[in-house]
Amino acid sequence: MADDKSTRNLLLAVCLVLLYVLDVRICFCEENTSDEFEEYLLCRQCGLEIAKASDLNKRPSKAAHRQRNDTIAGVDGVLIQLFKNPQENYFEVITAETANVQQHGQPYRQDTWWPGFSWKISICPRCGFHLGWFYEPFSQKAEERTFVGLILDNLLYQKYADNLLVVPKSYRS
């Protein structure tokens, strides 16, 4: 019994040392401003990198039930909008210029939250999890660009995911 306890204590000490070392590495990396260490939003289902924090943008919609600004993945003032679809489901949505998503289905013009834009379902290219919608303008005017509306609850911040520590059940007391 004492041997199990000492093994558990040793593993705990090793984990603490690793956390200290990783924290130092993370602090060092945060000072580096290159794209190599840019914050990402991940698919909550499988962890695939979906969008760079720098690609988040503000695209307000009059169809939103509520709007607020928040800091997401180190980007201040990200517009978060609450929408309701025809099936009475509510979604908090953020917008990005581009994202690593797969478009699914045909474009729909009806029930769009952004007038003048058609939408397609956007899914994770790795696991197929619903991440949001891809929007493209009806007309090809120069000032109108495609964008992605991402469901905030279906994403995970990379910094949060990097700090998760899974401890096997056998090591828990």
- Asked whether the CA dihedral 93, 94, 100, 104 is positive or negative, the reply is positive
CB neighbourhood size of 146 (10 A): 11
Mean pLDDT within 7-32:
55
Q: What is the pTM of this model?
A: 0.73
Averaged pLDDT of the chain: 83
CB 135 within 8 A of CB 146: yes
Local confidence band at 84 (pLDDT 50, 70, 90 cut-offs):
very high
Local confidence band at 33 (pLDDT 50, 70, 90 cut-offs):
very low
- In angstroms, rounded to a whole number, what is the distance separating the alpha carbons of residues 40 and 159? 8
Q: How far is CA 89 from the centre of its chain?
A: 20
**pLDDT for the residue 50:** 97
CB 121 within 8 A of CB 111: no
Residue 110 one-letter amino acid: Q
Q: How far is CA 108 from the centre of its chain?
A: 24
Query: According to the per-residue pLDDT averaged within each range, which of 14-18, 23-27, 30-34, 36-40 is highest?
Result: 36-40
Local confidence band at 161 (pLDDT 50, 70, 90 cut-offs):
confident
Helix, strand, or coil here: 77?
Answer: strand
